[in-house]
Amino acid sequence: MSVFNYQKDADGIVTITMDMTGPVNAMNQEYRDAMADAVAKLETEKDLTGVIFASAKKVFFAGGDLHELLAFEKGQEPAFMAMLDAIKSDLRKLEKLPVPVVAAINGAALGGGFEICLACNYRIAYNHQSVQLGLPEVSLGLLPGGGGIVRMVNLLGLQAALPYLLEGKKVTPQDALAAGMIHETVESLDDLLVRAKAYILANKGNAEAAQQAWDKADFRIPGGAAGSPKMAQLLTIAPAMLAQKTRGLLPAPEQILDCAVEAARLDFDTALKIESRAFAFLVGTPEAKNMITSFFFQLNKINSGASRPSHIEPQITKKLGVLGAGMMGQGIAYVSALAGIEVILKDTSLEAAEKGKAYSSALLDKGIARGRVTEEKKAQVLALIKPTADDQDLQGCDLIIEAVFENMALKNKITSATESYLCDGGIWGSNTSTLPITQLAQASRNPENFIGVHFFSPVDKMPLVEIICGEKTSDLALAKAFDYARQIKKTPIVVNDSLGFFTSRTFGTYFDEGARLVVEGAHPIKIDNLGKAIGMPVGPLTVHDEVSQELSRKAMETWRDMGVADTWGEQNALREIIDFLTVQNGRGGRHHKGGYFDYSDSGKTIWPGLLEKYYNSDVAISDQDIKDRLLFRQVIETLKCLETGVLRSVADGNIGSIMGIGAPVWTGGFLQFINSYGLEKFQARCAELAQHFGERFSCPAIVETKLKAGETFI
């Protein structure tokens, strides 16, 4: 029996219900066989009036089989091209049938799923929040390889199609309808097939309804073909804008742009072949393999609860206490209330707490201005946030998160003063970025219910939460923190306790290596630019100015008081730079009279005092050495975290490095980078860097262990 349920009714309408083996419909060999059989049968049907493609799954169609794509190896291009030709041939046959073909979209149709829809003459979608439509392949280092680029360009025009292709935009049925990606929506699932059949019967014998626009003799691409004067300006600036965005590190967007332009220049079937060649190239790139591994498999593994104790029942947070209404606290309050959680936002004064609540109001107003939030939604969210200066209002919280300054004594004082307001079994979370949870928990009466919940700034935008388990943290506390992170739609990684944990400790090496390069005499602008050249969001000096050297100085004082030595061994250039900037010159960062840079309304410029003190034009450090130093320091620190058990899994290391640290997207995360770079090659490069620049580049022993075992970091 086929996994495509083929039924023809008395009106001559064939309904093909896709119900493939496994939880979702996917574009694998089973699909290819089923689609080929279905199309062949449709071509021989007598008295056929129309075709409907429907799904028996909650998701209409999930897209390509990423296991197949990940297994692709260089040299397999001819077989891969033949497979793509077969897929496209069937979709072309489908859209050339002499009757209307309708997609009845009951659930998400992304990637290959939406490509099937595009090959249908008419598209009807269930108007529900669970239904997403689009072509997000670029986020995995790929492009739509089933005709998606060519059909979107012919459907919408080059300029209108590019955002969906280059950004991988996923849209709701209403937005898709407005954009012209679908033709109709229904408010009930029961109406999908009813409307599909009604459309077919209303267009019985209508040759126009059975023909795709691009197959008609008088077809013109909306907005003009690539050679038209209208497109001249777009084609001039688009490559430059793309290069500025990707920095030449991501091949997929470049290939997508090329294919889209060719789709607007050449005939339809020739453009399909060009799209196939580009897809066959991309699937073999290390960037695609890295991004598929981390952004799909490992991210899904984390979000599905691989790091969560499975024996603990779901823990729903109902009443949350947030202590401290500053930058972090106000952000935590906002995302929690947005998720429907009652929030007590406490500060030392009611005025400060109300100011913290005003942050949520301002964000909601921005959402209203952009048409994403209603006044009713704003009122609902704000009603859930109670600003207060009274500890009594915390009574009955099942979770309290302390979000005050990184000072052990202050945090301990707050824990002792307010922990008793938790309900029975309530959990205490500390939003600390560096201080060991085991030591913080010593101030708690119930250290088993004490856990680190590290957010990233700005909380409303950053998708990660780093959960830190102390020596006595219970499985219940971990489950509570994990479920809360998922409740507020964040991705949680789980790590074990140490100074700086994983993200802050690893990100600190980026600051540190930048500082070392400054002290060695390299030009600060060059250091920053090469940090961006490897794919980091900003250079190490700029980001340290944003974080603030004053904050680093205070953190170092705290570490000194705790008896902690220089974090990364050897001579700590970062300590020297911080002392020079903050203590000697009163420069604590961007918001403290400047740091490495001076700031004005016209932008930023390097502080002359920094050049006078350190810059040496005679110093010659190659660009490649600088780039590798900035990248390898972070990779090596990640390896140390894995080797010593701070990181519990490779997946946590990869997703945490991308979402929390800003690891270059093309790497797939700092551990996945080693896999694609090659373990032996990585080991050799570490040895070179260590010989020239210091022992901090020595390759951790875990790499040699993996090599001997014939393993990679998975």
| Paired strand residues for 554 | none
Distances (CA, A) of 32 to 28, 35, 214, 551, 674: 6, 5, 24, 57, 35
SS3 content of the chain, % helix, strand, coil (to 5): 55, 15, 35
Sign of CA dihedral 289, 291, 294, 300: negative
Report residue 707 as tokens: 């090599």
Q: Are residues 397 and 429 in the same domain?
A: yes
The helix (run of H) or strand (run of E) holding residue 494 is strand 491-496
User: Is residue 295 in a domain?
Assistant: no
Residue 658: partners with Cβ closer than 8 Å, 6 or more residues away = 294, 665, 668, 669
User: Is residue 379 in a domain?
Assistant: yes
Q: Are residues 491 and 509 in the same domain?
A: no
Say if CB 124 and CB 102 are below 8 A apart. Answer: yes
pLDDT tens per residue, range 383-399: 999 999 999 999 999 99
pLDDT tens per residue, range 593-635: 899 999 998 899 999 999 999 999 999 999 999 999 999 999 9
User: Is residue 314 in a domain?
Assistant: no
Residue 39: partners with Cβ closer than 8 Å, 6 or more residues away = 90, 93, 94
pLDDT tens per residue, range 456-506: 999 999 999 999 999 999 999 999 999 999 999 999 999 999 988 999 999
Confidence of residue 70 (pLDDT cuts 50, 70, 90): very high
pLDDT tens per residue, range 647-692: 999 999 999 999 999 999 999 999 999 999 999 999 999 999 999 9
User: Is residue 309 in a domain?
Assistant: no
**Tally of domains within the chain:** 4
645 class by beta-carbon count within 10 Å (0-12 exposed, 13-18 middle, 19+ buried) = exposed
If one counts every other C-beta atom within 10 angstroms of the C-beta of residue 561, the result is 11
What confidence score (pLDDT) does residue 564 get?
59
What confidence score (pLDDT) does residue 566 get?
54
Q: Are residues 678 and 588 in the same domain?
A: no
What's the CA gap between 544 and 535, in Å, rounded? 17
What confidence score (pLDDT) does residue 361 get?
98
What confidence score (pLDDT) does residue 575 get?
87
In the DSSP assignment, the letter for residue 657 is I
Q: Are residues 74 and 189 in the same domain?
A: yes
User: Is residue 265 in a domain?
Assistant: yes
Asked if residue 243 has pLDDT above 90, the reply is: yes
Mean pLDDT along residues 555-574: 67
Distances (CA, A) of 327 to 323, 358, 359: 12, 12, 9
pLDDT tens per residue, range 159-213: 999 999 999 999 999 999 999 999 999 999 999 999 999 999 999 989 999 999 9
What's the CA gap between 330 and 322, in Å, rounded? 8
Sign of CA dihedral 651, 657, 659, 662: negative
Of 241, 257, 284, the residue that ends a domain is: 284
Mean pLDDT along residues 141-169: 97
Phi, psi of 385 (to 5 degrees): -105, 120
Q: Are residues 470 and 511 in the same domain?
A: no
Q: Are residues 648 and 519 in the same domain?
A: no
What's the CA gap between 693 and 205, in Å, rounded? 77
Q: What CATH code is carried by the domain that includes residue 512?
A: 1.10.1040.50
What confidence score (pLDDT) does residue 573 get?
84
Residue 163: left if φ>0, alpha if ψ -120 to 50, beta else—which one? alpha
Confidence of residue 557 (pLDDT cuts 50, 70, 90): confident
Confidence of residue 111 (pLDDT cuts 50, 70, 90): very high
Confidence of residue 401 (pLDDT cuts 50, 70, 90): very high
Task: Write the DSSP assignment of 339-352 as a string of letters.
Answer: TT-EEEEE-SSHHH
Q: Are residues 85 and 181 in the same domain?
A: yes
Say if CB 123 and CB 182 are below 8 A apart. Answer: yes
What confidence score (pLDDT) does residue 499 get?
86
What confidence score (pLDDT) does residue 552 get?
85
116 class by beta-carbon count within 10 Å (0-12 exposed, 13-18 middle, 19+ buried) = buried
Average pLDDT, the chain: 95
What confidence score (pLDDT) does residue 605 get?
96
Give the range of the structural domain holding residue 261, as residue numbers without chain letter: 4-284
pLDDT tens per residue, range 118-133: 999 999 999 999 999 9
Confidence of residue 574 (pLDDT cuts 50, 70, 90): confident
Range list of H helices, 496-649? 503-520, 524-533, 540-547, 549-561, 573-578, 608-614, 623-643
User: Is residue 52 in a domain?
Assistant: yes
554 vs 510, residue with greater confidence: 510
**Nearest Cα to Cα of residue 361 among 384, 394, 390, 344:** 384
What confidence score (pLDDT) does residue 1 get?
60
Say if CB 155 and CB 261 are below 8 A apart. Answer: no
> At 689, which amino acid appears?
L
Burial 564-596 (b: 16+ CB within 10 A, else e): eeebbeeebbbbebbebbbeebebbbbebebbb
Report residue 363 as tokens: 């964000």
What's the CA gap between 320 and 397, in Å, rounded? 5
Q: Are residues 233 and 117 in the same domain?
A: yes
- β-strand 450-455 against 422-430: which pairing, if any? parallel
* Coil vs helix vs strand at 320: strand
Mean pLDDT along residues 562-570: 56
* Coil vs helix vs strand at 161: helix
Mean pLDDT along residues 244-249: 94
At which residue do the structure tokens 């920094």 appear?
610
Q: Are residues 167 and 223 in the same domain?
A: yes
Q: Are residues 25 and 139 in the same domain?
A: yes
What's the CA gap between 441 and 438, in Å, rounded? 5
What confidence score (pLDDT) does residue 281 get?
96
At which residue do the structure tokens 């008609």 appear?
216
**Nearest Cα to Cα of residue 317 among 501, 129, 490, 493:** 490
Residue 302: partners with Cβ closer than 8 Å, 6 or more residues away = 491, 492, 493, 651, 652, 655
Report residue 71 as tokens: 């297994």
User: Is residue 310 in a domain?
Assistant: no
Q: Are residues 406 and 433 in the same domain?
A: yes
pLDDT tens per residue, range 257-278: 999 999 999 999 999 999 999 9
Burial 355-383 (b: 16+ CB within 10 A, else e): bbbebbeebbeebeeeeebeeeebeebee
What confidence score (pLDDT) does residue 512 get?
93
User: Is residue 516 in a domain?
Assistant: yes
pLDDT tens per residue, range 288-333: 999 999 999 999 999 999 999 999 999 999 999 999 999 999 999 9
Mean pLDDT along residues 139-163: 97
Of 464, 495, 526, the residue that ends a domain is: 495
Compute and round to an integer the Cα radius of gyration of the chain.
Answer: 28
Q: What CATH code is carried by the domain that includes residue 481?
A: 3.40.50.720
Task: Give the predicted TM-score (pTM) of the model.
Answer: 0.94
What's the CA gap between 464 and 489, in Å, rounded? 9
Q: Are residues 335 and 380 in the same domain?
A: yes
Confidence of residue 553 (pLDDT cuts 50, 70, 90): confident
If one counts every other C-beta atom within 10 angstroms of the C-beta of residue 637, the result is 26
Burial 465-492 (b: 16+ CB within 10 A, else e): bbbbbbebbbebbbbbbbbbbbbbebbb
Q: What CATH code is carried by the domain that includes residue 130?
A: 3.90.226.10
> At 545, which amino acid appears?
D
